């Protein structure tokens, strides 16, 4: 159905006999209440430099309960969004790397870069390739094997071809 069938809210409200309060509040928590010590991580310090502590102290996080999607950064105000399901269930190293990846996006947002471009597919987006490249370096540093990293890059919303392209883009291609 055309989502704009009704010309305005008050008419739709009258016709359908319901009201919808569109002013939903997002509950934000301090990043540092949940993710502690990241200001000491070199892979984070290399993103924000001298501003690392300040940025992390000001960063806010929103939790959502969906099983789908793990983490993201708001392209409106740069806050972090984390699936509480992912947070409670995922491997510690996966969460650690996801945070590094998302903090990279926070910096891109601060630099005024457009996080979600329709110009590229997810794995071809320079925004994602930069964030993944940075994260893969950290994965190697913490001792993950190439196979583990390749598995880490296999997120369910990308197909095998895209997964292969991503592996290549971040310098992990075997062939």
- Name the site residues for Zn ion (rule: CB under 5 A): 128, 131
Q: Nearest distance from residue 153's CB to Zn ion, in Å?
A: 11
CB of 54 vs Zn ion, minimal distance in Å: 23
Q: Tokens representing 22?
A: 């569109």
In the structure encoding, which two tokens stand for residue 133, read together?
A: 């490249």
User: Taking the CB of residue 3, how many other CB atoms lie within 10 A of it?
Assistant: 5
**Strand extents, DSSP E, 68-127:** 71-73, 80-83
CA distances to 35, 107, 116, 122 from 119, in Å: 33, 21, 9, 10
Looking at the chain, the number of H-run helices and the number of E-run strands are 8, 4
- Compare residues 128 and 138 and give the one whose CB is closer to Zn ion: 128
Directed axis angle between helix 126-141 and helix 160-169, to 10°? 70
Q: In angstroms, what is the minimal distance from the CB of 122 to Zn ion?
A: 8
Q: Quick one: which of 170, 174, 130 has its CA closest to 153?
A: 170
Q: CA separation (Å) from 126 to 91, 103, 114?
A: 27, 16, 10
Q: Measured at CB, which residue is nearest to Zn ion? A: 131
Of the pair 53, 93, the CB lying nearest Zn ion is at: 93
- Residue closer to Zn ion by CB (options 56, 131) is 131
* Closest separation in Å from C-beta 12 to Zn ion: 36
- Considering the complex, what minimum distance in angstroms separates the CB of residue 83 from Zn ion? 14
């Amino acid at each position: 159905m055309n989502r704009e069938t009704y010309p305005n809210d008050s008419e739709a409200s009258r016709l359908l006999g319901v009201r919808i309060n569109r002013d939903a509040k997002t509950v934000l928590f301090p990043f540092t209440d949940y993710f502690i010590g990241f200001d000491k991580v070199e892979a984070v310090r290399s993103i924000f430099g001298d501003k690392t502590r300040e940025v992390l102290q000001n960063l806010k996080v929103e939790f959502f309960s969906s099983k789908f999607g793990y983490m993201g950064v708001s392209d409106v105000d740069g806050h972090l969004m984390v699936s509480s399901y992912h947070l409670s269930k995922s491997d510690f190293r996966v969460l650690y790397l996801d945070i590094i990846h998302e903090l990279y996006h926070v910096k891109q947002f601060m630099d005024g870069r457009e996080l979600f471009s329709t110009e590229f597919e997810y794995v071809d987006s320079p925004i994602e390739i930069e964030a993944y490249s940075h994260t893969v370096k950290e994965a190697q540093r913490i001792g993950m094997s190439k196979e583990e990293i390749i598995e880490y890059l296999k997120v369910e919303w990308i197909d095998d071809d895209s997964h292969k392209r991503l592996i290549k883009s971040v310098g992990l291609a075997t062939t």
